[in-house]
Amino acid sequence: MPPRLLLFLISAGLLATADRVLAIARFESRNLGHNFVGTEHVLCALARLPDSRLRHLFAQRGATIENVRSGVIGEDTLGPHRHSRAFRPLTPRLRKVLMIAEGLALQAKHMNIPQRLFVAIITEGWGVAGRVLRSLGFDLAQLRETFPETAIEPRVTISALGPGELIWFIHPTHGVKHAAGFVMDHRSGAYVFGGHTGSHYTGHGETAAQKLAEMQELGYLWWPYARWHGIVPAGWLPPEEDAKGDSIVRRIQDGEL
């Protein structure tokens, strides 16, 4: 469905699903000449949707779609891919935002999908969309007060993960020195990487879904949320290279396990 027609139908009452918002975001990405879809393109899509709560918020700062696009250009510049119809992959940061939004679905049922996506952008906080909001005069701390749903801990679900996708958890007591990497294998199991070694749960005794739920019940927080709560030091990044050097992680990501 052409994005302009999709926008018209949403304005006329068609439900704005995540897939439909992403379709508009891809349209924004192409118009800006980019070859990816990031949080900034989703922000452009949200600025175009007829959601009363978001429109009121944008109107308070005079943030029109034109202003939002200008903010994105200020951060990313215009790209050379405007006329390309090639597939535009989602950035890792946007995948995290989508994961946060999905985690809110069961805990903030009063919010619709555009609102959950906006809250997820604020919660994650470090993406280009966050910088664009700041450039338009928004204060993320104030936005978190306006949207108290940012205080809801986003529960990561297996449905939001793909095999081989590595995500990180932080325990409030142990901190980042004992960050745990979680990666689902291509069967029904998962591998938990603890920095130097890990444990592979093959799915026979404990499935990936069960292990993920257990970690969250033990108090482990997904690291963007831990950072929001000040548990993660400024500038800390997950030890991705250490994990990718682990033989089990590598075999899972290569599709062997």
**CA 99 to CA 113: how far, in whole Å?**
12
Report the side by side order of strands in the sheet with 198-201: 198-201, 190-193, 175-184, 166-171, 221-222
For residues 38 and 32, the answer to whether their CB atoms sit within 8 Å is: no
User: Beta partners for 190?
Assistant: 184, 201
Question: In this predicted model, what pLDDT tens digit does every residue of 215-254 receive, in sequence order?
Answer: 989 999 888 788 877 888 877 888 888 888 899 999 999 9
pLDDT the model gives residue 12: 63
- Rounded to an integer, what distance in angstroms lies between the CA atom of residue 158 and that of residue 230? 26
Residue 249, pLDDT score: 92
CA distance 79 to 30: 9
> How high is the pLDDT of residue 1?
65
**DSSP-derived 3-state class of residue 114:** helix
Averaged pLDDT, groups of 10, the chain, 257 residues long: 69 81 93 94 93 91 92 91 86 87 82 93 87 91 85 76 89 90 92 88 89 91 82 85 90 92
pLDDT at position 199 is 92
Q: What is the rounded CA–CA span in Å between residue 92 and residue 90?
A: 7
Helices vs strands, H then E, count in the chain = 13, 5
Give per-residue pLDDT as tens, 188-197: 999 999 877 8
Which residues contact residue 201 at a Cβ distance below 8 angstroms, ignoring those fewer than 6 apart?
189, 190, 191, 192, 207, 208, 211
> What angle in degrees, to the nearest 10, is found between the helix axes of 39-48 and 92-104?
50
Confidence at residue 142, expressed as pLDDT on a 0 to 100 scale: 87
Structural domains of the chain in order of their starting residue, each with its CATH number: 3-151 (1.10.1780.10), 158-253 (no CATH)
